[in-house]
A and B are shown apart, each in its own frame.
Chain A
């Protein structure tokens, strides 16, 4: 079974880093604070999670803090029964 953190991390690397961008991104890397994912791009990341896991993330839960690292995202997904 796919590890949620690995799935999200792989997606972040693929979609939000330019090819050739050699920044190290891990589970704890600050995605929003660190400028890897901005508030507009967060919409596409949220949509990916919703589509991938067939869930609906309410706007109130889709905060910059909740999306600020792969670990935070994984923690939020647990609330939807995804782990």
Chain B
């Protein structure tokens, strides 16, 4: 059988020889040059002779397919940029993409960047409150959405004076539109051959991705156009993308994986990528791989474990021989899943680790390296990564000791701020290291092993959900007196939300109330934030100052040591 040569032939040699300036040179960039992600992902690829190569193959859940070449996405992203310009959108304006995985999202992303505006993709399953929080914080000027999501936007529009235009991509009847609403039809718009791309520089803001923390509202991690340097090379080495590959990233661009490796990384490499808007069923996914002859597949541990649950019989129904490289991102990939994929697909999933703030891979299993099932892999060349002591935040020099993963600032895709939140941004850097907030240890071969989060943030299906946001929303339910939200272990999603709720006097707990509260959060925030279990309690453990001690609830849930409870006010 023909064996592909990996893009990275030797990890050690690559680490030794690597420099970011070599990557810049490979992309034809010099310090001080203009650099625009939209241009790098479309015009540059066309100029390199791949104008007629397929850039995007999109399939809906009925099996209908649309295909776009790199020249198509170049001209159509120009068209979107021009359309926005004519609506008086100017460089620096925030333009939200609030859509399912449809072509308008992917091509619109490039169009926004070509204009010099800031793309703010948001997960389309967000409820009105989650949506509003993020739009208000960013002061978003325009939102691009679909008819099905328009009701959620309309619900909060009265409180959004800053929002000037709502663009609906699948509405064809102007009579259905209200004030501030416009139509844009990608299928029938006039492609624009020439558009004056905004002369962005390395540190010009590009993308704003919201991420949750333990306290306070979600924070907007602000990225810059220079990130494409990281995203290009990490996609090339970490996903091993090659010229003939057909690539599928299952992530939604509402989250950072869906933009860094669902748009920028593959298209900066000139790779053909496939997208489906179909929801998850094992048969659907395997059919998609078979039909589109996917060769490189980047998915999430939650999806992989869900596929494991469906068994091997459904795999055997499909010809998956096109697959040649598998990688995973989200939460840590357990050893069983790696071993299972090796058995079932004939190759392991390669776990990768990074986060919204890092913008690109930090630690990864590379194709030229032996995979240790359950390990996150080794640091990406050119990145100085370590684990630091939990208290002193100084690098640990002992193998096998758990600390917080930390990265020396300076890699191109690093976030450059939290939107309007310098204080929280500065807190992420200690002793000259960016602290990821994830705990891990390093073994004798330099492989990283994930242990858990260093805070109360819930990692469910690879997405971070802030307990504070859930607790605040729970308090808006008329039956809830007080609440606490934690992550509880889950075989598929790693963690799911569990809420502890004390009801108001006179309200009786029952299953229908539990379901009502679950749906209340699902609709208000998102399905990810919905508690999958509610435990009704008389009271919650609190400090003497009245702060709820989530760690006590979490320790009990996970069967861990509770630790110091000297500040606990009440009996549990």
Task: Establish whether residues B61 and A33, one from each chain, have CB atoms under 8 Å apart when the complex forms.
Answer: yes
Neighbouring B residues of A63 by C-beta, 8 Å: 281, 309-310
Which residues 36-82 of A sit at the B interface, judged by CB distance below 8 A? 37-41, 43-44, 47-48, 50-51, 63-65, 68
Q: Is B398 interfacial (CB-CB < 8 Å)?
A: no
Task: Establish whether residues A32 and B530, one from each chain, have CB atoms under 8 Å apart when the complex forms.
Answer: no
Interface of A is mostly: loop
A48 to B306, CA, bound (A): 22
Distance (whole angstroms) from the CB of A4 to the closest CB of chain B? 18
Q: For chains A and B in complex, what number of residue pairs have CB atoms within 8 angstroms?
A: 81
Q: Is B438 interfacial (CB-CB < 8 Å)?
A: no
Neighbouring B residues of A39 by C-beta, 8 Å: 279-280, 306, 461
Task: Given A18-B148, A23-B148, A43-B532, check contact A33 B278 (CB 8 Å).
Answer: yes
Task: Given A20-B154, A21-B148, check contact A64 B532 (CB 8 Å).
Answer: no
Task: Establish whether residues B279 and A34, one from each chain, have CB atoms under 8 Å apart when the complex forms.
Answer: yes
Query: B151 touches which one: A18, A32, A33, A44 (CB < 8 A)?
Result: A18
Neighbouring A residues of B528 by C-beta, 8 Å: 40
Distance (whole angstroms) from the CB of B176 to the closest CB of chain A? 9
Q: Is B422 interfacial (CB-CB < 8 Å)?
A: no
Of B125, B279, B532, chain A has the most CB atoms within 10 Å of the CB of: B279
Task: Given A20-B154, A21-B151, A30-B61, check contact A44 B281 (CB 8 Å).
Answer: no
Q: Is A19 interfacial (CB-CB < 8 Å)?
A: yes
Interface stretch among B135-143, B478-486, B510-518? B510-518
Neighbouring B residues of A44 by C-beta, 8 Å: 515, 518-519, 522, 530
Q: Is A15 interfacial (CB-CB < 8 Å)?
A: yes
Neighbouring A residues of B100 by C-beta, 8 Å: 35
A48 to B513, CA, bound (A): 11
Q: Is B342 interfacial (CB-CB < 8 Å)?
A: no
Query: B527 touches which one: A23, A33, A41, A68 (CB < 8 A)?
Result: A41
Q: Is B336 interfacial (CB-CB < 8 Å)?
A: no
A32 to B280, CA, bound (A): 7
Of B100, B151, B496, chain A has the most CB atoms within 10 Å of the CB of: B151
Distance (whole angstroms) from the CB of A69 to the closest CB of chain B? 11
Q: Is B152 interfacial (CB-CB < 8 Å)?
A: yes
Task: Establish whether residues B281 and A32, one from each chain, have CB atoms under 8 Å apart when the complex forms.
Answer: yes
Task: Establish whether residues A35 and B530, one from each chain, have CB atoms under 8 Å apart when the complex forms.
Answer: no
Q: Is B12 interfacial (CB-CB < 8 Å)?
A: no
Q: Would you give 23 A-B contacts (Cβ < 8 Å), ordered by A?
A: A18-B149, A18-B151, A20-B154, A23-B148, A32-B280, A32-B281, A33-B278, A33-B279, A34-B278, A35-B100, A35-B277, A35-B278, A38-B125, A39-B279, A39-B461, A40-B461, A40-B527, A43-B532, A44-B530, A51-B511, A51-B515, A64-B279, A64-B281
The 10 closest A-B pairs by CB, nearest first: A20-B151, A40-B527, A18-B151, A64-B281, A32-B279, A51-B511, A41-B527, A33-B61, A35-B279, A33-B279
List residues of chain B with CB under 8 Å of any chain A CB. 61, 100, 125, 147-152, 154, 277-284, 306, 309-310, 461, 496, 511-512, 514-515, 518-519, 522-523, 527-528, 530, 532
Name 17 extra pairs, CB < 8 A, besides A30-B61, A39-B461, A51-B512.
A18-B149, A20-B150, A20-B154, A21-B147, A32-B281, A33-B278, A34-B61, A35-B100, A37-B279, A38-B125, A38-B280, A40-B532, A43-B518, A44-B518, A48-B515, A51-B515, A64-B280
